[in-house]
Amino acid sequence: MKSYSQAATFSLTLLSIFGANASSPIRMTPEQLEFNVNTEMAMLRADGTFAQLAKCSNKSEEIIANGYKALLPKCLTADPASIQSCYFTGIQKITGLSKTQLEICEEELGPDSSEQIELVERQLEELNLEQAKLENNDELSEEDQQRLDSIAAQIDELNGQLGSLYDAQESESVRDLEIMNAEMRRINKTLEPIEKHEAHNLPTDLEQPWTDSPPSFAHLPENEREAKRSQWVICSNMTTDATLVAETIGSVKRQPKAFAVTDEQNQQQLRSLYSASHGTFLDQIDNKIMEIGLKQWQQAHTTLGTHNVAKMAWEWCQAQPSIQFVNLDDSRL
């Protein structure tokens, strides 16, 4: 279930489709507002948010959904700084629940896939560190060896869980994109269908380190270890961003009649998202993401092509000094 803060972030993401300025109150055409409202409503139905709020408030799902739909235009066009409070106050009024009750309601549904992935990755990090320390011992006792065997088994199990969680997260992303595409085509009936990705069986021995959890880096001093872990996570995120930009540019270029934006508008929107205006090393990352996307969009329509784009972003990012990634925030919102 999306919390009111997640809903606020989601709203800013939706608005980026139309190139809106996130530093001032949003101005949208009636069609744009309709698209945002209907898309968010469909996504919140699909992820169980309305059903959970209905359960917690002892109100019908229809009452919750209708109240939320009436709230959305106000929050979607509010000053970005007040979007979160708009959602929070509005949801409290719709449900009759206090802040504490809303938090309990969200906890009952359990963590979403991103939170579960973060939890499993933390567990893997702790186990990898313990494993590395034990393996660095010159002599292992029988108890140490038994612990190593136990750690190895736990790591295998957690990696299996992580793979399933990544699959679930991808399915959620595909579902959300399908909802957005369906709504866009409902509003604009002249748009052509979007072509599917060309299938390509990747070699089984193809390395994709950006999909793995960060290593323990136990051989490094603590401060260097933290820098390398931060670099690994941010570089993994960068591969996702670079492939997204390349795919988006390529899709609009190849199928201009399938999208409600021109190639120029699409690139402007992407540049506003990867704005290189943060005053940190993230600016260089943003510039590189756009550079890769603009140069490599032609190959980003196959599975192998997107792998190559991700690999290009990963290798550039990993070649940068680790110190640049310490305390670096790459959230962009």
pLDDT digits (tens, 9 = 90+) for 108-166: 877 777 788 888 888 988 888 888 888 878 788 889 889 999 999 998 899 888 888 88
Q: Which pLDDT score, from 0 to 100, does residue 90 have? A: 93
Place of tokens 């205006």: 277
**Higher confidence at residue 93 or residue 35?**
93
Mean pLDDT of 287-311: 92
Is the confidence at residue 16, as pLDDT, over 50?
A: no
Residues 6+ positions from 292 with CB-CB distance below 8 Å: 242, 245, 246, 309, 312, 313, 316
The burial class, CB within 10 Å (0-12 / 13-18 / 19+), for 203 is: exposed
**Higher confidence at residue 261 or residue 66?**
66
Cα separation of 44 and 69, whole Å? 11
pTM of the model: 0.65
CB 13 within 8 A of CB 67: no
Q: How many CB atoms lie within 10 A of CB 170?
A: 11
Cα separation of 268 and 87, whole Å? 29
Q: Which pLDDT score, from 0 to 100, does residue 202 have? A: 64
Mean pLDDT of 14-29: 48
Q: Which pLDDT score, from 0 to 100, does residue 242 have? A: 94
Is the confidence at residue 17, as pLDDT, over 80?
A: no
Is the confidence at residue 93, as pLDDT, over 90?
A: yes
Is the confidence at residue 62, as pLDDT, over 70?
A: yes
pLDDT tens digits along 98-116: 989 988 988 887 777 778 8
Give, as one character, the DSSP assignment of residue 223: H
Q: Which pLDDT score, from 0 to 100, does residue 24 have? A: 44
Write out the two tokens for 30: 């009636």
Write out the two tokens for 257: 């009649």
Write out the two tokens for 96: 């009759």
Distances in Å between the alpha carbon of 54 and those of 8, 61, 65, 255? 20, 5, 9, 41
Is the confidence at residue 60, as pLDDT, over 70?
A: yes
